[in-house]
Amino acid sequence: MIEGALRSIVEEVRPEALKGQVATYIPELGKQSPELLGVAQVSMQGDLWAAGDAETPFTMQSISKVVSLGLALTELGEERVFSRVGVDPTADPFNSIMRLEMVAPHRPQNPLINAGAIVTLSLLPYGDGVERFLAVRALARRLLGNPDLDADEAVYLSEKQTSDRNRALAYFLRSVGALEGDIEDLLDSYFRQCSLRVTAKDLAVLGVTLASGGVNPFTGERVLAPRVCRILRALMATCGLYDGSGEFAVRVGFPAKSGVGGGIVAAVPMRYGIGVFGPALDPKGNSLGGVRILERLSQELSLRVL
């Protein structure tokens, strides 16, 4: 029944998804086909259903911010992390710089916008950018149950060579004392984690691990504490689709996090993880077809929790 629902929803959404635009500000992402569309769903018992392009690789981009925040909360505790980055949604785009100057003490508003993710990453107690990235990758591998998970070298280099905006954010943040250290080294780990290569199936496993309170149903491993998962789900529900989060909560009604690679991970608490992939994005940088698939699935399977 679920497999049939996934298949018919992908076919139903396909024409509409094409109205979106593939991200081009990271040149390598511009090479993705806007026609790709896929979904995978995993239950807490480890049943897996999929339809469409569920095994096509793409980069996590902002979805990786959930992993690095999970790592920071585990290693440093919530008090330390949230003394440096807030927990409130913004009505601004994911890479906005405006509020950083307006609001003192220059604490980015939440850890899922670029500025907040960069500050969160800077707090991790590792020697250099490569070590920091390896720690994020190690946690991602356990959350997704994929020991081969790795960065896409071409996408990583493409963002590293062009990301004036993230450099501007990071240098500004350092100038006001919101973070310390070597900016290029810090951004190197940020670009590497954003370029972690996954499939919709991988994201569905990440989603169900977060939905279950931290246990990966395929490996049986407890990867995160229930309290950390609860914080991650709360931030996904309020800030996961940036300035599109309110509309997503109304239309779909469960926690999710998007990335400009076209992926969205969703966690339906104590029920399912869902991964969707459709690189044609809406104007807010969220997968247009992906959001629509999640909305239709939420209706068909009564998944709304918000």
Q: Which of 70, 217, 255, 259 binds ligand DON (CB under 6 A)?
A: 259
Of 58, 94, 248, 272, which lies in the binding site for ligand DON, with binding defined by CB under 6 A?
94
Burial 55-87 (b: 16+ CB within 10 A, else e): ebebbbbbbbbbbbbbbbbbebeeeebbebbbb
Does residue 19 have an active-site annotation? Answer: no
Ramachandran assignment for 179, one of left (phi > 0), alpha (psi -120 to 50 degrees), beta (any other): beta
Instruction: Rule CB under 6 A: say whether 62 interacts with ligand DON.
Output: yes
190 part of the active site: yes
Q: How far is the CB of 259 from ligand DON (least distance, A)?
A: 4
DSSP string spanning 191-253? HHHHTBEE-HHHHHHHHHHHHTTSB-TTT--B-S-HHHHHHHHHHHHHHTTGGGHHHHHHHT-
Catalytic residue among 65, 160, 201, 257: 65
Out of 61, 109, 110, 199, point to the residue binding ligand DON (CB under 6 A): 61
**Contact string 100-119 vs ligand DON (x = CB under 6 A):** --------------x-----
Flag whether 25 is marked binding: no
* Residue 95 known to bind ligand: no
Of 28, 159, 282, 295, the one binding ligand DON (CB under 6 A) is 159
| Distance of alpha carbon 137 from alpha carbon 289, whole angstroms | 28
User: 140 vs 260, which CB is nearer to ligand DON?
Assistant: 260
Say whether 272 is catalytic: no
Shortest Cβ 196–ligand DON spacing (Å): 11
Q: Of 258, 273, 289, 291, which lies in the binding site for ligand DON, with binding defined by CB under 6 A?
A: 258
Say which of 136, 205, 242, 287 is annotated catalytic.
Answer: 242
114 is in an annotated binding site: yes
Q: List CB contacts of 203: < 8 A, sequence separation 6 or more.
A: 40, 63, 144, 263, 264, 265, 273, 274, 275, 276, 277
Under the binding rule (CB under 6 A), the answer on residue 90 touching ligand DON is no
Q: Which residue(s) pair with 281 in the sheet?
A: 21, 287
Q: What is the distance between the alpha carbons of residues 124 and 113, in angstroms, rounded to a whole number?
A: 17
- Tell me the H-state helices in 22-152: 64-76, 78-82, 98-102, 114-123, 129-144
| 96 belongs to the binding site for ligand DON (CB under 6 A) | no
**Alpha-carbon Rg of the chain, whole angstroms?**
18
Selected range binding ligand DON among 176-184, 213-221, 252-260, 292-300, rule: CB under 6 A:
252-260
- Catalytic site residue from 198, 260, 265, 268: 260
Fill in the DSSP letter of residue 62. G
Annotated binding residue 62: yes
How many C-beta atoms surround the C-beta of residue 209 within 10 A?
Answer: 30
Distance CA 288, CA 279 (A): 8
- Select from 113, 119, 160 the least CA-distant residue to 284: 113
The region of 127-135, 177-185, 256-264, 295-303 touching ligand DON under the rule CB under 6 A is 256-264
Site for ligand DON in 174-203 (CB under 6 A): 194
The residues annotated with a catalytic role in the active site are 62, 65, 190, 242, 260
Which parts are annotated binding residues for substrate?
Answer: 62, 114, 159, 166, 190, 242, 260
Instruction: Enumerate binding residues for ligand DON (CB under 6 A).
Output: 61-62, 94-95, 114, 159, 166, 194, 258-260, 285-286
